[in-house]
Structure 1
Amino acid sequence: LILKKNSHKVDGSFCPTSNQIDVCRNNIFLCSLQAFKRLHFNPEAKLDDVFVDEDENAEGAVDEGGPTREYLRLLMRAIHESNIFEGHEKTRQLCLDTQ
């Protein structure tokens, strides 16, 4: 009720200068999709990724480039292994039916 009463005060045009992504190593693909679908996700902004466990406790690494490289490496692997692509390991192609 309080949120509904104050929702008109929220600036819907605000776009963050960085995108924080809470990354769970066990489900990096889904975590990434959720972050990318956020209303205020800015694809031109810096990624600030935080690795978390299943209880959403941060691992404690400060992102000065290392965690972002690790995140992108793991995300590329997860995309490669997902049902978005099909075929042999070396010749995978985009799958038209991902369900």
Structure 2
Amino acid sequence: MKYFVIGERELVLAFALVGVQGSAAVTRSEALDSFFRVTGRGTAITGAPAEEERPKVLIITEQVADMLADEVINWQMRGDYPLIVEIPGIQGHLAGRKTMTDAIREAIGIHV
């Protein structure tokens, strides 16, 4: 299965060490360009990758998810590949965001 990561430079480098391609994004325009390339919409400069070349899982940081909130929601509603997974960035979780553990505990009703 092919993965791709969009986030801070250090995070992208860390994922590259285990063989996952990615692109660093600090601004909304950088994040949007990478998102469009990975999801197959392409850009005027890079074009769209062929269906078989697209990753099946897109890993994005919470910061990137905030920058691309509308695009990410629209993509997830389509139910198409790549599957989008949000992870904390280098600085940790953003304030006000639930961790995966918190979300699971809330969903199954366990309060410790």
TM-score, reference length from structure 2: 0.29
Larger RCO (alpha carbons 8 Å, 6+ apart) = 2
Q: In terms of Rg, which structure is larger? A: 1
TM-score, reference length from structure 1: 0.32
Richer in helix (by share):
2
